[in-house]
Chains A and B, each alone.
Chain A
Amino acid sequence: MERTTWRASIQAYLYLLPALVIIVLFTIYPIIKSLLISFYDDYDYFNDIVYARGFASYQYLWNDPTFHKALWNTFVFVIGVVPASIALSMFIAVLLNSNIRLRSFFRTAYFIPFVTSVVAVSIVWRWIFHTEYGLFNYVLGLFGADPVAWLTDPKWAMPSLIILSIWKGLGYNIIIFLAGLQNINEQYNLAARMDGAGKAKRFFHITLPLLSPTTFFVSIVSIIGSFKVFDEIYALFGGQPGPASSALTVVYYIFEKFYSEWEFGIASAAAYCLFIIIFILTLIQLYIGKRKVTY
């Protein structure tokens, strides 16, 4: 085997140098620094002087009803988006995976929202959700429903956000599911067909279990992505976290504490809370995934 030598190691680290410098400075150092900042109770960021350290930021979060609301809203958002998005995208992917014409047209139609700017499409949806002249209320009106104040009524702000997010993220999940479906050997399906299994039976007994590694991956990615929702809110509600903070999420909370209130300690503490939530979710998913999803 080629042996590892000092010379070879130095050479290799020269290759790594550019990437490592960037990643250490802008990822690894900030991860540590952020944790430290969350324990700064009194901090002059401009001169990087810490006057007091402690748990004040975390205490503040523990007692801050706004943060609790942000957490709650984020959970509602995740629950609203992820299961619906997975079910819909799996359904569409299975349809797309059948032998049909116009497949690439359909795929494109579902995927396009994903490549477009969140900010720009959110502004488009702002117009669609317009209470008086919006397309959405017009269509609902055709079915006899009264106009809904989608973006200005605190009750409806979260549902609007959820609709927009499902629409935006559907294409990505479909592509991943399609790739997963194409990885399933057609012979299983044929064999099940010989055994007399109908379409529905084949889906539930063959496709779904064999697709579970993909489903597992998609759900992790979707949950983590949904926990980090921000751009949509900013653009959809015009720089506000929804009417009466009804769409205030954790990242929006971090953004406000940091960017509007300059409370770096609290913002960092909140960011670490988000990190821990995501970390725990990932671990749970990995644990379940290891136990149940192995082929």
Chain B
Amino acid sequence: MSSDVTTTMYESGGIVMQVELRELSMEFQDVIAVDRLNLKIEQGKLVSILGPSGCGKSTTLFMMAGIYESTGGTILFDGKSMNGVPPESRGIGMVFQNYALYPHMTVLQNIQFPLRMRKMPRKQAMERALEMAKLVQIDHLADRKPGQLSGGQQQRTAIARALARKPDLLLFDEPLSNLDARLRLEMREEIRRIQQELQVTTIFVTHDQEEAMSISDKVILMKDGVVQQYSPPQKMYDEPENLFVASFLGSPPINQLQGSISKGVVSLAGTDQSIPVEAEGQNADCVVAVRPEAFYKAEQDEFHVIVDVELVERIGRDMIAVVKLGGTALRVFLAHEDDVHAGNRIRLGIRKKGFHLFTPAGERIPFQASWFGHKQ
């Protein structure tokens, strides 16, 4: 542990929680918002729930908090079922999207509020609140009202309030979405710092993939109430389990080409070009998905596809080219020094990492890349 604050803070509470969801479901009227979720969140980890809006990520979080009551399944905290346990008895702290600070109370009063609700003596509550304010570096603003604070300072106050009761589990509901880009970066690092200092199990809901990728130990990617993949962020990027995961992560998004698998190659639809790949299936349709950065300008003697350059954008250190392969437009990262112009016909090699095959329904197809390239 890196500071005194933390040692004093967690020596008494000390329990970091393991969270388990079993068949957790939520139905609103006739919409299934969360569909039989099963997963385990290890203690002391920061886990993000990522997904497009309406995927059920906030609903899942609100169920963990006890604000929503699930319509099916169980949430277990350290093996104990939380069904019917009210939010205040779950040992959680939560930070809301719009911070939900009490506007008529000062920063210090806000942080003390959960302590006072537990009848902690005034003096002790005050000390604890100050300690928390120090931890999130807003102790110099202790007597301000939320209206007099910047977005980032409000965010810090909300975090301090959530931490004040020494929760075993910390929940964040899209906490950075109301901040501007620069502050978002700063608060992201701040949350990570605090989480690592305290080693408190943390669940972080966001729709921003970059946020989730940068902050988390593991990411839960959801769509339509169903978990698509649950893994460390880099693994999710490198080894997507389905086409949705592959296409949701990455910016610019992964390139998709229609193709069909036949003896040792995938032929690309609308072209006479193909990629040497060993995969099961005969004349089976498939989707070829290639990350923009998996392309590179190839030499004559290695495997390549031939494309027509339509547009070249240079943005700082990057060069993005839009190229046409068959009828399909692809976005491709090229090296800065590559001499490529619109109208050129060029050869593109493909790195094996960043190349994926899926069925048209989006399921992963196992394969063996069998092409030769200089840059693997």
Contacts and interface: CB of A to CB of B under 8 A. Distances in A.
Does a CB–CB distance below 8 Å link A and B in the complex? yes
Interface of A: 1-3
B211 interface: no
A3 to B, nearest CB: 6
Which 3 A-B pairs have CB atoms at the shortest separation, nearest pair first?
A3-B69, A1-B28, A1-B68
A3 B26 CA distance: 12
B284 interface: no
A1 B28 CA distance: 7
Nearest to B71: A3
A1 B34 CA distance: 12
Contacts of A3: 69
A1 B69 CA distance: 7
Nearest to B69: A3
6 contacts: A1-B28, A1-B68, A2-B67, A2-B68, A2-B69, A3-B69
Contacts of B68: 1-2
Contacts of A2: 67-69
Nearest to B68: A1
Nearest to A5: B69
Interface residues of B, number: 4
Nearest to B29: A1
A3 B72 CA distance: 13
A30 to B, nearest CB: 39
Interface string B54-98: 000000000000011100000000000000000000000000000
A2 B69 CA distance: 7
Nearest to A3: B69
A232 B67 CA distance: 55
Contacts of B67: 2
A3 B68 CA distance: 8
A158 B69 CA distance: 65
A264 to B, nearest CB: 50
Contacts of B69: 2-3
A1 B68 CA distance: 5
A1 B59 CA distance: 9
B261 to A, nearest CB: 46
B59 to A, nearest CB: 9
Interface string B18-39: 0000000000100000000000
B103 to A, nearest CB: 23
A142 to B, nearest CB: 58
Contacts of A1: 28, 68
A2 B68 CA distance: 5
A39 B69 CA distance: 53
A2 B67 CA distance: 7
Nearest to B28: A1
Nearest to B59: A1
A3 B70 CA distance: 10
A2 B26 CA distance: 11
B69 to A, nearest CB: 6
A3 B28 CA distance: 10
A201 B28 CA distance: 53
A175 B100 CA distance: 35
A2 B28 CA distance: 10
Nearest to B26: A1
A3 B69 CA distance: 7
Contacts of B28: 1
A8 to B, nearest CB: 11
A1 B29 CA distance: 10
B57 to A, nearest CB: 16
A3 B71 CA distance: 10
A3 B67 CA distance: 10
A266 B52 CA distance: 67
B225 to A, nearest CB: 15
B62 to A, nearest CB: 9
B28 to A, nearest CB: 6
Nearest to B33: A1
A40 B69 CA distance: 54
Nearest to B67: A2
A1 B62 CA distance: 9
A7 to B, nearest CB: 12
A1 B67 CA distance: 8
A127 B68 CA distance: 67
B298 to A, nearest CB: 55
